[in-house]
């Protein structure tokens, strides 16, 4: 479930299955290659970084939900159920794909 999508906002941000919050194809990040916007994604691993990242979007005037910070921080599984319960999980290559 995404917190915000490009269809409605200037940000596509969601909890990644890997245990972080992904700001996908982020306009704040320089793309690593010229062929895809998704190389410009930002992996966010903690709430402080998350809040600063969202603030940067707001400062430059991106259209993002007014309650985005609250919506994300209210999600107890925002960094994945394993991180939320403090039980680390190693993923095999098969589980990732």
Q: List pLDDT tens digits, range 9-27.
A: 999 999 999 999 999 989 8
In a domain, residue 39? The reply is yes
In a domain, residue 33? The reply is yes
User: Looking at the predicted structure, is the pLDDT value of residue 34 above 80?
Assistant: no
In a domain, residue 97? The reply is no
Instruction: List, in sequence order, the alpha helices (H) in 1-97.
Output: 47-59, 68-73, 81-84, 93-96
In a domain, residue 5? The reply is no
Q: For residue 12, which of 52, 80, 59, 63 has the smallest C-alpha distance?
A: 63
Give the pTM.
0.75
What is the strand order of the sheet 42-44 is part of?
13-15, 21-23, 42-44
SS3 61: coil
Model confidence pLDDT, tens digit, residues 41-60: 899 999 999 999 999 999 99
Total domains in the fold of the chain? 1
Model confidence pLDDT, tens digit, residues 56-92: 999 999 999 999 999 999 999 999 765 555 555 555 6
In a domain, residue 80? The reply is yes
Taking CB atoms within 8 Å and a gap of at least 24, the contacts of 85-93 are: 89/19, 91/18
Residues spanned by the domain of 59: 13-88
In a domain, residue 4? The reply is no
In a domain, residue 45? The reply is yes
């Amino acid at each position: 479930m995404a917190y915000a999508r490009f269809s409605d906002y200037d940000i596509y941000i969601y909890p990644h299955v890997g245990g972080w919050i992904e700001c996908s194809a982020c306009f704040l990040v320089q793309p690593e290659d010229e062929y895809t916007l998704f190389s410009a994604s930002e992996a966010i691993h903690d709430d402080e970084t998350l809040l600063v990242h969202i603030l940067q979007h707001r400062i430059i005037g991106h259209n993002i939900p007014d309650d985005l910070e609250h919506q994300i921080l209210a999600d107890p599984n925002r960094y994945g159920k394993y991180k939320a319960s403090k039980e680390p999980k190693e993923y095999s290559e098969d589980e990732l794909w």
